[in-house]
Amino acid sequence: MQTAYVKTPVGTAEITGDANGISVIHVLDGAHATTKKIPPELKEAASQLSEYFQGKRQEFTFKINPSGSEFQQNVWKELLKIPYGKTVSYMDITKKLGDVKAIRAVASANGKNPLWIVVPCHRVVGSDGSLTGYAGGLWRKKWLLEHENPSPQQSLF
């Protein structure tokens, strides 16, 4: 496994992966040194994250390899279907998975998403449209949603 640290507008992204794909992208709080020479296995992910923050990319195409239970994997696959600039509720996800009673389990799987931004858990909001918990902090969730939907006429919050 290789790891690289890349600066973003909302903190330092820690990218971990190998030839099988990127397994983890987390955002870190506080000051962190960035990686000067990014390992070849991580270059595409670092490049695409940079393009996302520059407003030049709406989808990620590098290979991912997150580790999680079958249920978590199913939730993350549903998250990958949320279009750039759009939001869905936890209830929407549970309905797509076929079990509306699994809302807490869906929220838990969402919170354990190991691929920050790439698997867009920041696009999941409360049924009333409110910002709800986000492992990276609600201020980051708000920033990301506004980054994806910058039109003042369509401001989400």
pLDDT band, very low/low/confident/very high, at 152 (cuts 50, 70, 90) = low
Residue 41 forms part of a structural domain? yes
One of 106, 109, 121, 125 is an active-site residue; which one? 121
Provide the greatest CA pair distance for the chain: 47
pLDDT band, very low/low/confident/very high, at 157 (cuts 50, 70, 90) = very low
Asked if residue 91 and residue 40 are part of one domain, the reply reads: no
Q: Is the pTM of this model over 0.95?
A: no
| Chain segment 34-75, per-residue pLDDT in tens | 999 999 999 999 999 999 999 999 999 999 999 999 999 999
Asked if residue 96 and residue 31 are part of one domain, the reply reads: no
Cα 49 from Cα 117, distance rounded (Å) = 8
How many C-beta atoms lie closer than 10 Å to residue 85's C-beta?
Answer: 15
Q: Residue 9's domain spans which residues?
A: 2-53
**Catalytic site residue 17?**
no
Give the per-residue pLDDT at 127: 85
pLDDT at 131 over 70: yes
